[in-house]
Chains A and B, each alone.
Chain A
Amino acid sequence: MPKILVCIKQALDVAELKIDSATRRPIIVGVPRKISDFDKNALEEAVRLKEKVGGEVVVITVGPEEAKMALREALAMGADRAYHLRDPSFEGSDTLAVSHILAEAIKKVGEFDLILCGEASIDSFTAQVGPRLAERLNIPQITYVRKLDLKGDTVVAERSLEDCYETVKAKMPVLITVTGEINEPRIPALMAIMKASKKEIIVWTAQDLNIPKEKVGEAGSAIQVTEVLAPKVERKRIVIKAETVEELAETLAKALIKEGVVGR
Chain B
Amino acid sequence: MSEHGGVWVFSENKDLMLELLGKGSELANKLQAELAAVLLGYNVKDQANELIAYGANKVYVVDHPLLKGLYAEPYTSALTSLVKRYKPEIILMGSTKRGKELASRLATRLETGCVPDCTRLWVDEKGVLLMDRVVYGGNAVATAVCRVKPRIATVPPRVFERLEREERKGEVIEVDVEIEEPRTEILEAKEIEAAKVKLEEAKVIVACGRGVEKKEDTRILEELAEILGGQVGYTRPLCEDRKWFTEWIGLSGHKVKPALYIGCGISGVIQHIAGIRDSQIIVGINKDPEAPIFEVADYIVVGDLYEVVPALSAALKKLLTSG
Contacts and interface: CB of A to CB of B under 8 A. Distances in A.
A126 B152 CA distance: 13
Interface string A131-159: 11011100111111000000000001001
Contacts of A230: 139-141
B66 to A, nearest CB: 15
A164 B191 contact: yes
Contacts of B72: 131, 140-141
A162 B109 contact: no
Nearest to B132: A227
B300 interface: yes
A15 interface: yes
Contact of B187 (A122, A127, A156, A163): A156
Interface in B206-235: 228
Given A161-B98, A223-B115, A96 B108 contact: yes
Interface in B164-206: 183-192, 194, 203-204
Nearest to B185: A169
B104 A228 contact: no
A95 B116 CA distance: 11
B113 A222 contact: yes
- Is the interface on chain B under 10, 10 to 19, 20 to 34, or 35 or more residues? 35 or more
A214 B109 CA distance: 18
Contact of A233 (B73, B184, B190, B295): B295
Q: Is the interface of B mostly helix, strand, loop or mixed?
A: mixed
Interface string B295-308: 11111111100011
Interface stretch (B25-33, B49-57, B309-317): B309-317
B301 A248 contact: yes
B319 A125 contact: no
A136 B108 CA distance: 7
A106 B245 CA distance: 38
A255 interface: yes
B121 to A, nearest CB: 14
Interface in A226-264: 226-231, 233, 235-240, 245-246, 248-250, 252-257, 259-263
Contacts of B41: none
Contacts of A170: 183-185
B105 A143 contact: no
Given A224-B145, A262-B228, A249 B104 contact: no
29 contacts: A14-B137, A14-B271, A17-B139, A94-B113, A96-B111, A125-B252, A126-B114, A127-B104, A128-B114, A130-B101, A131-B72, A132-B105, A156-B187, A163-B191, A165-B189, A167-B186, A174-B184, A223-B114, A224-B144, A226-B130, A231-B141, A235-B298, A237-B298, A238-B300, A248-B303, A249-B311, A261-B204, A261-B281, A262-B204
Interface of A: 12, 14-15, 17, 19, 25-26, 94-96, 99, 120, 122-128, 130-132, 134-136, 139-144, 156, 159, 161-171, 174, 180-181, 221-231, 233, 235-240, 245-246, 248-250, 252-257, 259-263
List the 10 closest pairs (A to B, CB-CB), nearest first: A222-B113, A14-B137, A249-B311, A131-B104, A140-B183, A261-B260, A253-B315, A223-B113, A236-B298, A135-B108
